[in-house]
Amino acid sequence: MMRDMNEKVGWIGTGVMGKSMCNHILTAGYQINVYNRTKEKAKELVNMGANWCSNTREIAEKSDIVFTIVGFPNDVEEVYLGENGILKSIKNGSIVVDMTTSEPSLAQKIYKEAKKIGVSSLDAPVSGGDVGARSGKLAIMIGGDKETYEKVLPFFELMGENLSYMGKAGAGQHTKMSNQILIASTMIGTVESLLYAHKAGNDLEEVINVIGKGAAGCWSINNLGPRIANGNFEPGFFIKHFVKDMGIALKEASNMHLSLPGLALAYQFYMYAMALGLENMGSHGLYKVLAKMNGIEI
């Protein structure tokens, strides 16, 4: 099912994930209005036919549906509710979809503010990293009104293959927090496993090939393990953004009087990575942190 091809789509945020996600919609034939704080990061999309807009207000004025995927909750709040925010100028009857991993409470606030002006809102964070974004195989977790979800579904189908409507506003973000909590501990196991193999003198790629097909197999070992083995710590997902996500999860857990000691431990390891200046590495850069803690040269 496709939506009206004359419908104008706005896209804000063309970073590691956003550029590929936007590209899928653009190559499907939709008219795209695009904005990013760093214009250079949108150049490829503009060269392919996307229309550059100078700010978020212009995106809102020229688009029927607006997707956003930015960095941090304060960025989301500024993009939607700031002086030049989307909700200051978007047309009645439009749809906004935030795909940033952000705070559930902020998703609920945006939903309520949008509702006041006749605009529908979804929170739709994603999982799958740069690989999933490029291949169009992301997992997308969606919160908001079911009717709005069904309207936006054709776009979600261009970006992902594991699409889940989770319930009311904020439910998508809560689901993403569950995802990040699981990844946090899994990543520790992944890097400790490979660091052990390295210290023991095993070939990392051979180890990954064996254990990745057994009971220990998981996305992290099978997708990020080979990057570690090849010394490639370029970001599919930034350490600084993972720290942000874990901070949100710990805050939400605290609000629910829930103790998550495994997440708290992972958070401390990643804060150490930040202190070492590794914030712009991929989340698998934790391997470097634990190697340093053990005095191992890699």
> How many CA atoms does the CB half-sphere of 91 hold within 13 Å?
13
Angle at 21 between CA 15 and CA 22, to 5 degrees: 85
- Tokens 């899928």 appear where? 24
Can you list the positions of beta strands (E) in the chain? 8-12, 31-35, 51-52, 65-68, 95-98, 120-123, 126-127, 138-144, 160-167
Told to judge if 176 belongs to the known catalytic residues of this protein, a careful annotator would answer yes
Paired strand residues for 31: 8
Task: Considering the candidates 19, 62, 109, 176, report the single residue annotated as catalytic.
Answer: 176
What distance in Å separates the CA atoms of residue 171 and residue 164, rounded to the nearest whole number? 11
Please, are residues 190 and 225 in contact by the beta-carbon 8 Å criterion?
yes
User: Cβ contacts of residue 18 below 8 Å, gap of 6+?
Assistant: 11, 36, 69, 99, 133
Q: Which of 162, 154, 228, 235 is nearest to 189 (CA)?
A: 228
Q: Are 246 and 266 in contact (CB under 8 A)?
A: yes
Closest of 97, 121, 106, 99 to residue 73, by C-alpha: 106
Residues known to be catalytic: 176
